[in-house]
Amino acid sequence: MPTNRLYYNDSFVYEFDAHVAESLQIDGRQVIVLDRTAFYPTSGGQVHDTGQILVDSREIAVTEVADDAQGRVLHYVAEPIAVNSVVHGQIDRERRIDHIQQHTGQHVLSAAFIELFNMPTVSFHMGAETCTIDLDTAALSSSQAQKAERLANEIIAQDRPVAIRFVPLEEARQLGLRKLPPKQTGDLRLIDIQDFDLTACGGTHVRATGQIGCVLVRKTEKVKQGIRVEFVCGLRAVKLARKDYTTLTEAAGLFSAHIHELPQQIRKSIDDAKTAAKAQHRILEELAEFQADRMLAEASSAPRIISAVLPERDASFIKLLAQKLTAGKSDVIALLGSLSGQPTLVFAQSPGQKSNMGQLLKEALVQLGGRGGGSAELAQGGLPQSTEASQIDSLLRVTAQRIKESSRE
Ligand SMILES: [Zn+2]
């Protein structure tokens, strides 16, 4: 037997008495079917109610509510309840009114998109934080989205009555509904927002549009079936606006600016950071050149092998230094190590010499458990974070010795 749905005639029934018609297990979960219920099952994009079932002196949580193919409403409950028990149902009011606001707000917003731009809604999703509708349209400008939001809020402020009507399918076809369900037998349940929207729907709705509170359109994005519009209604809109404001205020505090000046301040910060990075790069180039000249002046006879560990420098600096040491020379080999950031080795040589930097680096890395590689001319590798300057130093000495020996052969 299909369940008698009390919310069909009144969305504001929060408490009711009923009999347990069936008590069953579905996928190992306890389920009861009542002869009548005010609990709304997940359907039509609207999420189910939660609440309690009171029986004898027990208070049993209803964690999920679903529809089945026979028109029964399945209440997933925390404990079994015997068939024929007399029970009292209580709906979680805050959750229900939130769903009513989001769901009826969707009717108004969808109708506004039709009225203004003839963009039909093809699907609706209610999430825990925000809701979305998908519009059948190739594009939607932000000005169009704002116009639809404006019209929806005007309809809400006009507090238009929202009526529930039951009419036969044939009669409904003549009424020019915004949406007709694909398959339907018997009477259709119509939701009539006075002189604005008429559609078939099984959900829960406000009595007059003022109860929606407001509609706030948020982001829009392109999806497979058109444009997805994210929105929130009523107290959710206030909650999200409050969160946005808190975030903006915190960000503005960091800049000692008004929240409306934030984009300008952030752009300025990004520009300043770019300028500073460029200046720093120039200074490092000069420093590397200066250091390279000094190292070359102190170097021994050909091949000039320059080996050094620079604890205060990072990988990008020693790479720069290696290039300054070897470029434009014919006989320099640079074996460098850095410790700032990840400990790193860079081996480089002037072009045309017989050593192979990639090969030497690989052999050196094996000694300290690092990874990397490169060409015969330039190679780079990272070492474990725990590597110490003395370990790198002795490794570079051994490598330099090998190069000297092989150059004498
Ligand atoms: Zn509805």
Q: How far is the CA of 94 from the centre of ligand 1 (A)?
A: 18
Q: How far is the CA of 1 from the centre of ligand 1 (A)?
A: 24
57 close to 19: Cβ distance less than 8 angstroms: no
How many angstroms separate the CA atoms of 133 and 109, rounded? 9
Q: How far is the CA of 116 from the centre of ligand 1 (A)?
A: 20
Question: Could you tell me where the beta strands, DSSP code E, fall in 138-275?
Answer: 162-168, 187-193, 197-200, 215-223, 226-233
Q: What pLDDT score was predicted for residue 409?
A: 67
How many angstroms separate the CA atoms of 122 and 178, rounded? 11
Higher pLDDT, 399 or 302: 399
Q: How far is the CA of 125 from the centre of ligand 1 (A)?
A: 12
Q: What are the φ/ψ torsions at residue 141 (nearest 5 degrees)? A: -85, 160
11 close to 162: Cβ distance less than 8 angstroms: no
Q: How far is the CA of 11 from the centre of ligand 1 (A)?
A: 11
For 153-190, how does the pLDDT look when each residue is reduced to its tens digit (9 = 90+)?
999 999 999 999 999 888 888 888 887 776 667 788 99
Q: What pLDDT score was predicted for residue 184?
A: 66
46 close to 14: Cβ distance less than 8 angstroms: no
131 close to 100: Cβ distance less than 8 angstroms: no
Q: How far is the CA of 186 from the centre of ligand 1 (A)?
A: 18
Q: What is this structure's pTM? A: 0.77
Instruction: List Cβ neighbours of 404 (8 Å cut-off, separation of 6 or more).
Output: 303, 305
Q: How far is the CA of 319 from the centre of ligand 1 (A)?
A: 65
Q: How far is the CA of 323 from the centre of ligand 1 (A)?
A: 70
Q: pLDDT averaged over the chain?
A: 94
Judged by average pLDDT, the poorest of 135-149, 164-178, 317-331 is: 164-178
How many angstroms separate the CA atoms of 305 and 329, rounded? 12
